[in-house]
Chain A
Amino acid sequence: MSNRIGPITMPKWGLSMQEGTVNRWLANEGDTVQAGTAIVEVESDKIAGSLEIPTGGILRRRVATEAQVLPVGALLGVVAEADVSDAEIDSFVVEFQSRFVPGASEQDNVAIGPETVVVDGHTLSYLRRGESGEAVLLIHGFGGDKNNWLFNHEVLAAGHVVYAIDLPGHGASDKRVGDPTLEGITKTVIGFADALQLGDFHLIGHSFGGAIGMLTALRSPTRVRSLTLIDSAGLGSEIDAEYVRAFARTNSRKELKALTGRLFANEELVTRSLVEDLLRFKRLDGVPTALEAIASAFLDGDRQRTVLAPQVAQLGKPIRIIWGAKDRIIPASHSNALGDSAKVHVFPNAGHMVQMEAANEVNRILLD
């Protein structure tokens, strides 16, 4: 295949994605598109997002039509230089289609589903992606899991070995949390890094996972090469405490849907399937107890119990802070808590789940 011609294919966002719907094209045939331009909007049964092209060129062919449902890896379009003839594009498409087997890449990847490791008696589930490069550890927030990184994990894995952990009480990890305090969970995370022999690593934490990340860096500074804090807890005391308590407590789809909506600037991103997955998690034995234990250790009345900003500012590590300006859980003003010790990026049209809502922009910062 000529590297003057590049395919645009259906992405795989998260382990469960088998197919996606082409919502709408964001460029016309004949448009010149820069590398990193969002070119087509795709929706899985969980969430919608836009697909960027890695290298620039001219969008020569839109193979997929809007509203079409296609398997992961299927050809959506073709980007090529101006001097590539239409005949070459045609034969590229024909050849791609004749070779494409839905699910074939899935079978290649069959060995790398989620794995588990036992740390201090806790079975922890994690997903590892990437063959070589420095280690990166992704830590999700309260009530989240490793799928919160579905738009980021693969992209980062191009040049790193990236681990997304399910914290105790979350995802597919043990629902017994043991010590539910930040200290207790941080100890488990450090144990996780030791068990997998990560050495030193870049740490990216979202929300509650950001506070865990900061404490990991404070307790074990030699392990943490850099710290990226996304809509992070632990930088100030304000928080929507009612959200935290209600999320821990609720067993009702309606309430959970409304709560999940608060996480996004654009509530339409919350699909029925996303809420259903959360509900299925919440209904597992032990989950409400685990979340309530973590919530009550984390909150002091209506405020965050632990603010780590002053110590973290003294760490002398490279620190990036990323925030959605429309965050309704932890105010975006906390992004300034570290002053000059951190580089700050705030995205105007995103909420608490900025790594999902502004995935392409956040990925560019993470890869920087």
Chain B
Amino acid sequence: MQRKITFKQAINEAMAQEMARDESVIAMGEDNVGGRGGEGEMDAWGGVLGVTKGLYGKFGDRIIDTPISESAFIGAAVGAAACGLRPVAELMFVDFLGVCFDQIFNQAAKFRYMFGGKAVTPVVIRTMFGAGFRAAAQHSQCLYSIFTHIPGLKCVVPSTPYDAKGLLIASIRDNDPVIFFEHKLLYGLEGEVPEESFTIPFGEANIVREGNDVTVVAIGRMVHMALQAAEDLAKEGIECEIIDPRTTSPLDEETILESVANTGRLVVVDESHPRCNMATDIAAIAAQKAFGDLKAPVSMVCAPHTPVPFSDALEDLYIPSPAKVKAAVNGVVEYAK
């Protein structure tokens, strides 16, 4: 049996191994050195949820504590990347990326293109996303679709500790800007992860579960919702093939389309709002490239088009659940038996 660690430890280990391997890798973010106003390793908070805890003791000055000024330090990270470092900037909540749009969309994403391919921008922006943390509308959004829209950015959304480690190492070694999305409710998830460094290539979906009846594409934490639904459905004789794209940009269309060609039915589970999100994108790809294979309309399981509610009861209702996935799968199966 291989060693099991949590999603959070997997990210910490990926950063530690890359920082040890390559001196140009630095980390920056809020509260990652002195969380309570103190100094030194004992007080090093390791970011708001302690993901980078322990790195300050190992790497000292290469862990940079930033003010609560996202537009400034994301800009600094992009600039440092353009000048030869490999910064990993931690932006507490994806919701705050709004104040850094120019730095990300118009600078980081464009350098390679504006400078005739002569500039590279090897920056990684790690950021937490997702609902279910009782953190209300401004700390719970699921915004990977917005970044997926921008050419020049790569978007990574891991769902397991193994993927988190391999994809973060790949992100750090990549020469383009990467936005790395961490669902905060996955941090405690345990899984088998090799102690050695390894990479997972971008644009290769993971077939999480094989099945011949319905293709279910799910992203981030939704992979686990889909898995729960699939176990129930299997008892009713419906076998779901669950595909986790792992990176939304680049997107592994081929694996999705091959699966749809086999099953003829597609359900997409995406925690983001249902307009212009990954679910609509994947549904559109299926409509354009797999129309002849489809036996039923593509079904989307998404959050509603409303800010994340603060009420616990409403927030629970807001998030796509295994029951909703199950209903959607039953719907596409019933449509064409």
Give chain A's interface residues, CB within 8 Å of chain B: 15-16, 113, 175, 251-253, 272, 280, 283-286
The 8 Å CB contact of A280, one of B1, B194, B201, B210, is: B194
Mostly helix, strand, loop or mixed at chain A's interface?
A: loop
Q: Does B207 contact A (CB under 8 A)?
A: yes
Q: Evaluate contact between A283 and B166: CB separation under 8 angstroms.
A: yes
Query: How far is B198's CA from A286's CA once the two chains are assembled, in angstroms?
Result: 9
Q: Evaluate contact between A252 and B199: CB separation under 8 angstroms.
A: no
Query: How far is B210's CA from A15's CA once the two chains are assembled, in angstroms?
Result: 23
Contacts of B210 in A (CB 8 A): 272
Contacts of A253 in B (CB 8 A): 204
Contacts of B194 in A (CB 8 A): 280, 284
CB contacts under 8 Å to A, within B194-210, are 194, 196-201, 204, 207, 210
Q: A16-B1, A283-B166 in contact; A272/B207 too (CB < 8 A)? A: yes
Q: How does the 8 Å CB contact mask read for B186-228 relative to A, with 1 for contact and 0 for none?
A: 0000000010111111001001001000000000000000000
User: B287 to nearest A CB, angstroms?
Assistant: 24
Q: Evaluate contact between A285 and B198: CB separation under 8 angstroms.
A: yes
Query: How far is B200's CA from A15's CA once the two chains are assembled, in angstroms?
Result: 25
Query: How far is B194's CA from A286's CA once the two chains are assembled, in angstroms?
Result: 13
Query: How far is B162's CA from A284's CA once the two chains are assembled, in angstroms?
Result: 12
**Minimum CB distance partner of B199 in chain A:** A283
Q: Evaluate contact between B197 and A284: CB separation under 8 angstroms.
A: yes
Q: Evaluate contact between A283 and B198: CB separation under 8 angstroms.
A: yes
User: B169 to nearest A CB, angstroms?
Assistant: 8
Query: How far is B169's CA from A285's CA once the two chains are assembled, in angstroms?
Result: 10
Q: Evaluate contact between A252 and B201: CB separation under 8 angstroms.
A: yes
User: B258 to nearest A CB, angstroms?
Assistant: 9
Contacts of A285 in B (CB 8 A): 196-199
Pick the most buried of B196, B197, B201: most chain A CB atoms within 10 A of its CB.
B196
Contacts of B196 in A (CB 8 A): 175, 284-286
Contacts of A280 in B (CB 8 A): 162, 194, 198
Q: Show 16 residue pairs from A and B whose CB-CB distance is below 8 angstroms, ordered by the A residue.
A: A15-B1, A113-B1, A175-B196, A252-B201, A253-B204, A272-B207, A272-B210, A280-B194, A283-B198, A283-B200, A284-B196, A284-B197, A284-B198, A285-B196, A285-B198, A285-B199
Mostly helix, strand, loop or mixed at chain B's interface?
A: loop
Closest 8 CB pairs of A and B: A285-B197, A283-B198, A284-B198, A284-B196, A251-B201, A272-B210, A283-B199, A285-B196
User: B305 to nearest A CB, angstroms?
Assistant: 36
Contacts of B1 in A (CB 8 A): 15-16, 113
Pick the most buried of A16, A253, A286: most chain B CB atoms within 10 A of its CB.
A253
Query: How far is B201's CA from A252's CA once the two chains are assembled, in angstroms?
Result: 8
Query: How far is B199's CA from A280's CA once the two chains are assembled, in angstroms?
Result: 9
15 other contacts beyond A113-B1, A285-B196, with CB at 8 A cut-off? A16-B1, A175-B196, A251-B201, A252-B201, A253-B204, A272-B207, A272-B210, A280-B198, A283-B198, A283-B200, A284-B194, A284-B197, A285-B197, A285-B198, A286-B196
Contacts of B199 in A (CB 8 A): 283, 285
Contacts of A286 in B (CB 8 A): 196
Query: How far is B199's CA from A283's CA once the two chains are assembled, in angstroms?
Result: 6
User: B216 to nearest A CB, angstroms?
Assistant: 16
Query: How far is B196's CA from A253's CA once the two chains are assembled, in angstroms?
Result: 20
Contacts of A252 in B (CB 8 A): 201, 204
Query: How far is B205's CA from A272's CA once the two chains are assembled, in angstroms?
Result: 13
**Minimum CB distance partner of B194 in chain A:** A284
**Minimum CB distance partner of A175 in chain B:** B196
CB contacts under 8 Å to A, within B153-185, are 162, 166
Query: How far is B166's CA from A16's CA once the two chains are assembled, in angstroms?
Result: 21
**Minimum CB distance partner of A15 in chain B:** B1
Pick the most buried of A16, A113, A175, A280: most chain B CB atoms within 10 A of its CB.
A280
Contacts of A16 in B (CB 8 A): 1
User: A258 to nearest B CB, angstroms?
Assistant: 13
Query: How far is B199's CA from A253's CA once the two chains are assembled, in angstroms?
Result: 13
Contacts of B198 in A (CB 8 A): 280, 283-285
Query: How far is B194's CA from A175's CA once the two chains are assembled, in angstroms?
Result: 13
User: A207 to nearest B CB, angstroms?
Assistant: 24
Contacts of B162 in A (CB 8 A): 280
User: A75 to nearest B CB, angstroms?
Assistant: 24
Query: How far is B194's CA from A284's CA once the two chains are assembled, in angstroms?
Result: 8
Contacts of B204 in A (CB 8 A): 252-253
Query: How far is B199's CA from A92's CA once the two chains are assembled, in angstroms?
Result: 52
Query: How far is B3's CA from A64's CA once the two chains are assembled, in angstroms?
Result: 32
Query: How far is B13's CA from A10's CA once the two chains are assembled, in angstroms?
Result: 37
Query: How far is B1's CA from A113's CA once the two chains are assembled, in angstroms?
Result: 8
**Minimum CB distance partner of B197 in chain A:** A285
User: B304 to nearest A CB, angstroms?
Assistant: 35
**Minimum CB distance partner of A275 in chain B:** B207
**Minimum CB distance partner of B17 in chain A:** A285
User: A273 to nearest B CB, angstroms?
Assistant: 10
User: B199 to nearest A CB, angstroms?
Assistant: 6
**Minimum CB distance partner of B162 in chain A:** A280
**Minimum CB distance partner of B208 in chain A:** A272
Query: How far is B197's CA from A15's CA once the two chains are assembled, in angstroms?
Result: 23
User: B28 to nearest A CB, angstroms?
Assistant: 25
Contacts of A251 in B (CB 8 A): 201
Query: How far is B199's CA from A251's CA once the two chains are assembled, in angstroms?
Result: 10
Query: How far is B166's CA from A253's CA once the two chains are assembled, in angstroms?
Result: 15
User: A54 to nearest B CB, angstroms?
Assistant: 28
User: B92 to nearest A CB, angstroms?
Assistant: 30
Query: How far is B204's CA from A251's CA once the two chains are assembled, in angstroms?
Result: 10
**Minimum CB distance partner of A253 in chain B:** B204
Query: How far is B192's CA from A15's CA once the two chains are assembled, in angstroms?
Result: 14
Contacts of A272 in B (CB 8 A): 207, 210
Contacts of B201 in A (CB 8 A): 251-252
User: B173 to nearest A CB, angstroms?
Assistant: 10
User: B219 to nearest A CB, angstroms?
Assistant: 19
Query: How far is B166's CA from A15's CA once the two chains are assembled, in angstroms?
Result: 24
Query: How far is B92's CA from A36's CA once the two chains are assembled, in angstroms?
Result: 62
Contacts of A284 in B (CB 8 A): 194, 196-198
**Minimum CB distance partner of A286 in chain B:** B196
